[in-house]
Structure 1
Amino acid sequence: MIDFRYHLVSIVAIFLALAVGIVLGTTLLQEPAVKSAQELTAQLTKTKEELRAQIDTLQGREAGNDAFISAVTPELVAGDLAGQRVLLIETPGSNTAWREAAQQVLDQAGAEVTGRVTFTEKFLDPKGTGVLDGLVNQLKPVNMVFPETATSWGRAAALLGASLVTNDTAQAGTPNTTTADVVGAFEAGGLLTVDGDPAKRATLAVMFAPERPYEGGSAETQAGALVSVADGFDAASKGTVLAGIAATTVTPGDVITALRDEGEVSKRVTGVDTADMPLGPVAIVYSLQEQLSGRAGQYGNGKGASGPIPAEAAPTPSPTTESGS
């Protein structure tokens, strides 16, 4: 019978042998292992320095490009939107700096910004669709009919669009007879705020997506809701642009991605994903021009973009004369 002392001696012997092996192995392999580690460290350090230099170069080029775009923007957009009236729409989580930069360039393009509508988080709350539907049913004109597939936000956007924008140039600058009641009710319900005089209807709209994708269980629903809102304003106006930034990863709460995934809507509403760059406001102006001609596109650097700006808006090189002619 094997007793406890035998077990104890066996265990001690095993650990002693293991310890001796480790010591011998470390002693024999110490110099090659250290040398290998030193070589790897040196290589990694060199690679890091090379990548750092590449990043510095790219950042320098980007800064130079941005400075150039900023300098020539007034010339690039001068008069492009003369006579047009533009409504600005901010969403929960959108960046005020993007809107301010776009507003400045719209002014340089000759457009008149009628005002700003800012939707609240309450407007996007999926639990509040009953309140939204109730308001719409109470305020909509009797002749306003919604598509069967329209969401609560789509119906609300159709009503608000009819109140704040128009596709009839003759009606631009004038309020709809129901505007005051509609906007007042939505304000009283804590669903939006207004700035300026958006009741004097615009012909175009620019909507700013959240700076970061929405998160949580309602993220996809909220992103889709804003796509529906953009589509509603587009239908009521001469065109709408949804501006934001390109998502670095695929996420259901990203509004620009949601727009581009909506095949039919993306054919009507233009998406610009460079709102945080000097090129963004220029792309917005050119996209509004394209909307006025009845076309839409997806522009920027992110997935689904066909190019940085509409192709037909790209500056055309001046013709050259061959020497000797």
Structure 2
Amino acid sequence: MIDFRYHLVSIVAIFLALAVGIVMGTTLLQEPALKSAEELTAQLAKTKEELRTQVNLLQGREAGNAAFVGELTPKLVADELNGERVLLIEAPGSSTAYREAQHQVLLQAGAAIAGRVTLTDKYLDPANAGVLDGLVNQLKPADMVFTEGASTYDKAATLLAATLMTADQSQAGTANPATAAVLDGFETGGLLNLENEPQKRATLAVMFAPEEPFEGRHAEIQADALASLAGGLDAGGKGAVMTGSGSIAAGPGGAITAVRDDGDLAKRVSTVDTPDMPAGQIVIVYALREQARGGVGQYGIGTGASAPMPALPTSSPSPTTESGS
């Protein structure tokens, strides 16, 4: 008969065998596993160093290219916008640095800056749509008629465009007497802020899109509101360009995307998604020049861009006179 001592010895033997197996397995696997881990770590460290070298090289090249283009910018844009007045429109969350840099390039191109209009979050908040609609109806001239089915933001864009823009060169730099109270009303209502004298109408406009995408259930409405304003400014003057970082403004929820995805707006409003690059700042000037001549395009490197820049205008060769003729 198997007694308790036999059971105890059997159990001890089983656990001893398991312990020996674990120790042997760990000992046999330890060296290959450690060696493999060390090799993988070394390879990852090498790859990281190679990538860091590539990043440093690319950053150096980009800085060099930016410096080169920056030096040439005054020559590349000289006289391109002579006689034009350009209005700067800033959306909430747009880059002040991009706007300041573009301001200087526009001056180098011969443009006069009509002023600056900064939209507030309140303007884009759908919860304030009723207030905005009431203000528009209160301030609009009696003879202003909105298109059938126009949204609140479409109406606001039409009214602001009549106040800020003109396609008539003889009226550039003058206020529209029919909309004299509009900007004061919008500013008092907390919908926008003004700098300089934007009421003295511009012929062209540059809108700076937010540097963060719109999110949440109202994202599409907010992006479309900016696109609608760009379209209104374009219709009220010689043209408009919307600009913003390609990775944001031309991505999902971005204002540039709203323009590029709208078949009608994309045929009228130009976009540039490289304002962070000196070359992109030149492209904005060329896009404005193209707008003033009746053209349009979607430029940059982001989604929906059709080309990096507008086609350069061709000039007819001057006739030559041969000697002795």
Residues 136-147 of structure 1 mapped to structure 2, 5 A cutoff = 136-147=136-147
1:295 and 2:295 aligned: yes
Contact 1:247 1:257 in 2 (8 A): no
Paired residue for 1:67?
67
Q: After TM superposition, give the deviation of residue 311 of structure 1 in Å.
A: 2.1
Paired residue for 1:234?
234
Residues 235-274 of structure 1 mapped to structure 2, 5 A cutoff = 235-247=235-247, 252-274=252-274
Q: After TM superposition, give the deviation of residue 77 of structure 1 in Å.
A: 0.2
Letter in 1 for 2:184: G
Contact 2:211 2:248 in 1 (8 A): no
Q: After TM superposition, give the deviation of residue 85 of structure 1 in Å.
A: 0.5
1:58 and 2:58 aligned: yes
The SS at the match of 1:311 is coil
The RMSD of aligned alpha carbons is 2.4
Paired residue for 2:307?
307
Deviation larger for 299-308 or 70-79? 299-308
1:100 to 1:52, Cα distance in 2 relative to 1, 3 A: same
* Aligned residues between the structures: 307
| C-alpha distance in structure 1 between counterparts of 2:110 and 2:95, whole Å | 23
Contact 1:241 1:288 in 2 (8 A): yes
Contact 1:163 1:179 in 2 (8 A): yes
Q: After TM superposition, give the deviation of residue 49 of structure 1 in Å.
A: 1.4
| C-alpha distance in structure 2 between counterparts of 1:55 and 1:219, whole Å | 34
| C-alpha distance in structure 2 between counterparts of 1:249 and 1:193, whole Å | 22
The SS at the match of 1:312 is coil
Paired residue for 2:279?
279
TM-score by length of 2: 0.88
| C-alpha distance in structure 2 between counterparts of 1:201 and 1:13, whole Å | 97
Q: After TM superposition, give the deviation of residue 264 of structure 1 in Å.
A: 1.7
Q: After TM superposition, give the deviation of residue 249 of structure 1 in Å.
A: 9.9
Q: After TM superposition, give the deviation of residue 252 of structure 1 in Å.
A: 4.0
| C-alpha distance in structure 2 between counterparts of 1:11 and 1:266, whole Å | 82
Q: After TM superposition, give the deviation of residue 20 of structure 1 in Å.
A: 4.8
1:161 to 1:16, Cα distance in 2 relative to 1, 3 A: farther
Letter in 1 for 2:253: G
Letter in 2 for 1:177: P
| C-alpha distance in structure 1 between counterparts of 2:250 and 2:229, whole Å | 22
Contact 1:98 1:275 in 2 (8 A): yes
Q: Between the two proteins, what is the percent identity of the paired residues?
A: 63
Contact 2:204 2:239 in 1 (8 A): yes
Q: Cα deviations across residues 166-194 of structure 1 (Å, max 9, x unaligned)?
A: 01112111110133211111111111111
1:179 and 2:179 aligned: yes
1:13 to 1:105, Cα distance in 2 relative to 1, 3 A: farther
The SS at the match of 1:158 is helix
Residues 1-325 of structure 1 mapped to structure 2, 5 A cutoff = 20-247=20-247, 252-312=252-312
Contact 1:272 1:300 in 2 (8 A): yes
Q: Cα deviations across residues 237-264 of structure 1 (Å, max 9, x unaligned)?
A: 1000001011269854211222211122
Deviation larger for 36-45 or 286-295? 36-45
1:45 to 1:145, Cα distance in 2 relative to 1, 3 A: same
Contact 1:204 1:238 in 2 (8 A): yes
The SS at the match of 2:86 is strand
Q: Cα deviations across residues 141-169 of structure 1 (Å, max 9, x unaligned)?
A: 23322223422111101101001100111
1:279 to 1:227, Cα distance in 2 relative to 1, 3 A: same
- Structure whose CA Rg is larger: 2
Q: Cα deviations across residues 223-282 of structure 1 (Å, max 9, x unaligned)?
A: 111111111111101000001011269854211222211122111111111112212221
| C-alpha distance in structure 2 between counterparts of 1:82 and 1:225, whole Å | 31
Unaligned runs of 5+ in 1: 1-9, 316-325
Contact 2:140 2:179 in 1 (8 A): no
| C-alpha distance in structure 2 between counterparts of 1:280 and 1:290, whole Å | 15
